[in-house]
Amino acid sequence: MVEKAVDVAVETLIKPVLGAILEKAAKRRLTVQEASLILLYDMNSRLGRIEARLDSLDKRFESLEKRIAEIVQEIAGFRRDMAPLWQALAKLVEAQASKQ
């Protein structure tokens, strides 16, 4: 899963950026060091945005996990509350079946 995310990141972020920087370097005759600095700055900026998105997703998943836990507790409570009713209904059905 992580490898696929890295591959997607390389294809969508790094390759296009690197190509654009190399074009700029060719036109402006930047030194290798200047091009490297531009590339590192751009990659750092993009990685920062990606990390922010991942943090946001983590928070959403945490919220979903909490909500799922609450729902599971509600269902368990409902089952506990309904148990006496089901038992009474079973006794009623059993009593009517024995009368026939």
Mean pLDDT of 52-73: 93
Mean pLDDT of 61-80: 95
- Distance between CA 34 and CA 64 in Å, rounded? 45
> Is residue 34 pLDDT above 90, yes or no?
no
Over the stretch 3-16, which tens digit does the pLDDT of each residue have? 677 677 767 777 77
Mean pLDDT of 59-66: 93
Per the structure, the complete domain to which residue 50 belongs is given by 2-99
Could you give the number of structural domains in the chain? 1
Q: Write 19-25 long-range contacts (CB < 8 A, 24+).
A: none
pLDDT of residue 1: 62
- Dihedrals φ, ψ of 29, to 5°? 60, 50
